[in-house]
Chain A
């Protein structure tokens, strides 16, 4: 079962620069939440605080509470946090020296799974969920880099879900893909949301409108508006949201 994420009074710094200014959000379980906003508004920083990646940067600092269900993520080992919260990045980043199979199996092996049968089963299940199994089942030993960009991104999604996380963070997951691959990733997001709490950062307004149940508009490190996606894209409350989504600024 996926779990909701509760964020309270979350602040993040790069050195002395305050990038997130007291963010409060409740991200519902088994739903897709889109984070939109102009470049530099703090949306990537926000999701990197959810899986504690932000604090790995030199000089970066975080304050506030992030709970997954009842668990305080800032009181858990960061390695465990990243196992519970998978992440997919803008550019597909498969391990270039590893095969398709080993790209998926690596996280499981690091988690202590070495039984060949169990690994095969988990790799197949992950690739099935990422809608990639049919395309790669006969070439699992080939290098992951032999796949197309769209396939590599779905491989990265399969890799993220192989360790059975509860949350999937996606930072502009389709911005480097062609329209067909983009739609496949979007369909995948729709299918995966029953199993995972999904948070997706996107610059593509139509993509947010298509895939997200809830949408948050960030500006200057603050949440300007957070509401169901239909409301945000048909009748937003705040003029700044309206101006951004209609392309009047940003």
Chain B
């Protein structure tokens, strides 16, 4: 079947449809070798109607809409002697797919990378990205590639908003569960997302607490709201390099006695010397007393704190309280 629609009817339909006007505008601005003035656009591109002011408003909205699709309309002059004759065009090199020199193996890898997200928050983006790659018409070399991973990835639902906010440097706010599971509003300049041991973390500058903080995405209790305009902060790179000291506490050393061959978790970061035939002495670096006490208690009867004395007193008091609770 061929679409037999006469030209007048086509024009009538086209005028009424915004999406067709946007496509026609894109085609006109891409195909032109020189900048098109607004007057030329209104005269030649299908879909602009009404008085001058209405057309102007329409065109401004269209530019914003195309920008939201990642299409940049360039403003310039084709004749430097007539600067008032500014015009518009879309540079094919800014419109076109950025990835160069893709071969069948890279296409196969990218398509495996994209398929991981099938059901997850980034699935639609991966899908549309893969579609653009497929449009290159490069045959994917699936045969030479074993399936590297069969699992689908679980992306937290907040991931897309956070990626865009980091990329645009926009402030965000979200509800976050504190240590007692109470939901608190946090205002953050997002710096970095990282995935470690199955969890996603956001690192950013908390504008209320005036310091760098790390947030685990599964502790978010709301969607992410974008606040304010793009490029509204600078990333403090030096602070990011020293994330270990995030909570501001100094690094201290505790001496812990550990039964030989036991408590592998405590031993992981410790310097070990022998105490006697039954026990080792571990120098364990720590920043947070409560977390260290918890780690030592996990080891049960296989570990006890030797030093500092106040930690030893604290753990003894915790144990006595717990015995009383369970009595």
Instruction: Judge: A and B partners, yes or no.
Output: no
Residues of B within 8 A of A (CB): none
Interface residues of A (CB under 8 A from B): none
